[in-house]
Amino acid sequence: MTEAEGADAQGCFNRGTLFVTADMTAGKIEDAQLFVNKTSDGSLVKSVETCAQNNGFYTIKMKRVGRPDLITSMPCRLLESEDYHDSLEVALTLGGDIVGMNYRTRPAWGLVLFEHTTVRLNSGKPALDPEIPEKPKHDPNKPEESTGFMGIFRKYWWVFALVMVLSSVVGGK
């Protein structure tokens, strides 16, 4: 993984290596020595402040062998506050391939930005197969029921007969 400050990304340096467990349940960034030196001597904070004054972006680029690089960024002005915690969210396929990433910061009391970047893995779940009901079978021996008025009349003939008898009994002259 490479990190860069500024919209033109001239201050690029190696952030570290992202490790993901074999079962894709946990991830960790192992910091590169240059990144550790920049955070300990304060030059990283100064370069982020300069980037914020220039309305630049803090960019993270993940280099993948044989695949396109993934890039995420955020305005440097969001990184100037103290008591912030940063996290890298990584989207994985079922096979373990990285398909996306997102860098976030959140207010967190007593934590220092870049000190411990949390890695969150989001892996998909297999889709359920749709349940398709069986096609109704046509029995050639069974007579077909007619539809429309005649079908209703054949099914409910007794209701019509009852209505006719009641209306003739109650009806009068």
At residue 7, the pLDDT reads: 41
Residue 14: the pLDDT is: 80
Tens digits of pLDDT across the chain (173 residues) = 555 444 444 567 788 888 888 887 788 888 888 888 888 887 887 888 888 888 888 888 888 778 888 888 888 888 776 667 788 888 888 887 888 888 888 887 777 777 778 888 888 778 888 899 898 887 777 766 666 777 777 788 889 899 989 888 887 66
| Distance (Å, whole) CA 57 – CA 48 | 9
Instruction: Give the model's pLDDT for residue 120.
Output: 85
Assign 3-class secondary structure to 9-30: CCCCEECEEEEECCCCCCEEEE
For the whole prediction, is pTM greater than 0.85?
Answer: no
Instruction: Give the position of tokens 């991830």.
Output: 27
Q: Which pLDDT score, from 0 to 100, does residue 85 have?
A: 78
Tokens linked to 79: 């990184």
pLDDT, position 5: 45
Beta-sheet strands, E only, within the chain: 2-5, 13-14, 16-20, 27-31, 57-62, 70-75, 84-92, 98-107, 118-123
What is the pLDDT at residue 162? 92
